[in-house]
Chain A
Amino acid sequence: MATAISTAKSGKVHSISRSEARRRVAERIAAVLFSTLGAIWLGANLIKSPAQFFQAAIGGLSNGALYALIALGYTIVYGIIELINFAHGDLFMLGGVFSAYFISVWFGQTKSSPKAWLIFVVCLFLVMAFTASINVAIERFAYRRLRRAPKLAPLITAVGMSFILQFVGLTWNGSGPKNWNSVLPGGAIDISGVKIYYVTLILFAVTIPLLLLLTFIVSKTRQGKAMRATAQDQDAARLMGIDVNRTISFTFAIGGALAGAAGLLYVETIGTTSYNLGYQLGLIAFTSAVLGGIGNLSGAVLGAVLIGLIQGLNDGLPIGLGQQWSQTVVFSILIMLMVFKPAGILGKQVIEKV
């Protein structure tokens, strides 16, 4: 009897570790294969036309910066209440529409001037406050009462919220896309054939400090501590004296503010607004968050930069599949990664004793 139990046990342990080992080997082979293919592709292009390569990479990085701002909103909200906030992309869209109207309609700025730059800066703060307030209100009135309901209820509510925001965008912006002039300086720095536009530099100059500020808030401040505790165990957080409702509101405010900043930057770099913009960019940003490991802040940024780069390079490189395939390439990579590493690049399967 005793021996039977022990052999059954060890047999089981054995088979688990064997399949686990097989999975690891497959994962490694896939990783090596992928990176070799990628390296050959990049290398060939770099040798063929280095200037075009760097130009495409810079374009990719600036896409990535925009995606990162939006992806972070998905990931911190998921991190704290395990909700995929489908309305988040539409919040970004509203941020864009607000910014375009603020700068070009309400303040009548349509070209670059010191006055317009000042209005751009004021708009940055206002649009962040605008989308943060909307996000906080959405959580307060739509998601909060569903916090203890089955997961599907808040998810469907989020889809509904997405439609409502799109409807607001439709009424505000009209049914077709609108084009706007950038009020940022139009020139570029030329480094041996590679053009770095001023708008790209401004995009980084806004995004990077925001990312650093977010990291600081989450890792160093009292609010950040409260966020991390609430993300792990709400009732335990309450027993520490943490105001869980306020902490969740704060999280939605941060996510909303970043989406607003992204909206402004999108309008000033790409120059269009349309009511369904949130759907397209939201999907890519959400994919970035999943690719990096949803709930993980650095993961969202990494995923966004990767997707931005892949798109930028595929769009702009001489040897490549061409622009019409960019979306396909991005999602194929996502699917492959999900098969081999379902938790995402930086998402870890945490071993927890409970």
Chain B
Amino acid sequence: MSALLEVSNLKVAYGKILAVKGISLTVAKGEIVTLIGSNGAGKSTTLRTISGLLHPKAGEITFKGEKISGREGHEIVAKGICQSPEGRRIFPRMTVAENLDLGAFLRNDKAAIAEDQENVLVLFPRLRERLYQRAGTLSGGEQQMLAVGRAMMGRPELLLLDEPSMGLAPVLVELIFDTISKIREMGTTILLVEQNALAALDVADRAYVLESGLITMSGDAKELLRNDEVAKAYLGG
């Protein structure tokens, strides 16, 4: 299997405390892979390390066969990995349009950028209505849409989504997961971190279960949906 992203024996620490204790995972081109697990399992740490915001203590990350672990965040974006981070992290004092524009910071193809902005606004019509409003004044759900849209503006080959459904009303959760399928249809590979394990497993091809910094289970997403242990721990019985 030719993996787009390959994480092997990754260890990440905050100070002396290991948060990720040696995990390996792969994401193939065109897949949606989800990483589920309870609070503090190390999901966000893993994504932040892939994006170069944290540097691994041990192990290696390769993207398209090239080692990217140890590189800086901006270099990794240039390689084609964008992230919609946990907690949205939009730029509050800039308008929605400026936020989207920053998502395309490394691109020069004006026409294609305009096209991508149009795609984002078709997916999230709410953002179109608020294009010139300051992002800090958007509702939580709208900010989440902006964070996902902003990451799409980088036209990444691999999109990392950290809890895109967090704090959203059920209708919006559905919209976000629909959008995730659509983004994949546009040709983007996705690594999805979610608390909402049911919806995540439903939309994903494959899944990894992370517990206290270690991967305890992995496999076909639909099989995991039927797995008793997964059901007990993450699907509420």
Point out residues on A near B: beta carbons under 8 Å.
222, 225-226, 228-229, 232-233, 235-245, 350-354
Cα distance A80–B51 when bound, in Å? Answer: 22
Point out residues on B near A: beta carbons under 8 Å.
51-53, 72-74, 77-78, 82-83, 85, 87-94, 98, 101-103, 105-106, 136-140, 143, 150-151, 154
Task: Give 15 CB contacts A-B under 8 Å.
Answer: A226-B105, A229-B94, A232-B91, A232-B92, A235-B73, A236-B90, A238-B72, A239-B53, A239-B77, A239-B89, A241-B78, A241-B105, A242-B102, A243-B72, A350-B92
Cα distance A233–B103 when bound, in Å? Answer: 14
A236 B89 Cβ-Cβ under 8 A: yes
Cα distance A225–B85 when bound, in Å? Answer: 20
Which residues of chain B have C-beta atoms less than 8 A from A237's C-beta?
Answer: 102
A229 B91 Cβ-Cβ under 8 A: yes
A353 B143 Cβ-Cβ under 8 A: yes
Q: A228-B94, A351-B136 are in contact. Are A233 and B105 (CB under 8 A)?
A: no
Which residues of chain A have C-beta atoms less than 8 A from B137's C-beta?
Answer: 351, 353
Cα distance A228–B95 when bound, in Å? Answer: 12
Cα distance A241–B93 when bound, in Å? Answer: 19
A242 B105 Cβ-Cβ under 8 A: yes
Question: Taking CB as reference atom, which chain A residue is nearest B160?
Answer: A239
Cα distance A222–B74 when bound, in Å? Answer: 15
A346 to chain B, nearest CB (A): 14
Which residues of chain B have C-beta atoms less than 8 A from A351's C-beta?
Answer: 136-137
B85 A235 Cβ-Cβ under 8 A: yes
Which residues of chain B have C-beta atoms less than 8 A from A350's C-beta?
Answer: 92-93, 136
Q: A351-B137, A352-B136 are in contact. Are A241 and B106 (CB under 8 A)?
A: yes
Residue from A222, A225, A226, A354 within 8 A of B92 (CB atoms):
A354
Residue from A222, A235, A240 within 8 A of B103 (CB atoms):
A240
B77 A240 Cβ-Cβ under 8 A: yes
Cα distance A238–B89 when bound, in Å? Answer: 11
Which residues of chain A have C-beta atoms less than 8 A from B93's C-beta?
Answer: 228, 232, 350, 352
A76 to chain B, nearest CB (A): 15
Which residues of chain A have C-beta atoms less than 8 A from B90's C-beta?
Answer: 236
Cα distance A233–B87 when bound, in Å? Answer: 12
Which residues of chain B have C-beta atoms less than 8 A from A233's C-beta?
Answer: 89, 91
Q: A238-B52, A239-B82 are in contact. Are A354 and B105 (CB under 8 A)?
A: no
B83 A239 Cβ-Cβ under 8 A: yes
Q: A233-B89, A236-B91 are in contact. Are A241 and B74 (CB under 8 A)?
A: yes
Which residues of chain A have C-beta atoms less than 8 A from B151's C-beta?
Answer: 239
A354 B87 Cβ-Cβ under 8 A: yes
A240 B92 Cβ-Cβ under 8 A: no
B92 A352 Cβ-Cβ under 8 A: yes
A353 B89 Cβ-Cβ under 8 A: no
Cα distance A243–B87 when bound, in Å? Answer: 22
Apart from A240-B77, A241-B154, list 16 A-B contacts with CB within 8 A: A225-B98, A225-B101, A225-B105, A228-B93, A229-B94, A237-B102, A238-B51, A238-B72, A238-B77, A239-B85, A240-B102, A241-B106, A242-B102, A352-B93, A352-B136, A353-B140
Which residues of chain B have C-beta atoms less than 8 A from A238's C-beta?
Answer: 51-53, 72-74, 77
A271 to chain B, nearest CB (A): 42
Q: A229-B91, A241-B106, A353-B138 are in contact. Are A236 and B74 (CB under 8 A)?
A: no
Which residues of chain A have C-beta atoms less than 8 A from B88's C-beta?
Answer: 354
- Ranked 4 nearest A-B pairs via Cβ: A238-B73, A241-B77, A241-B106, A236-B89
A236 B85 Cβ-Cβ under 8 A: yes
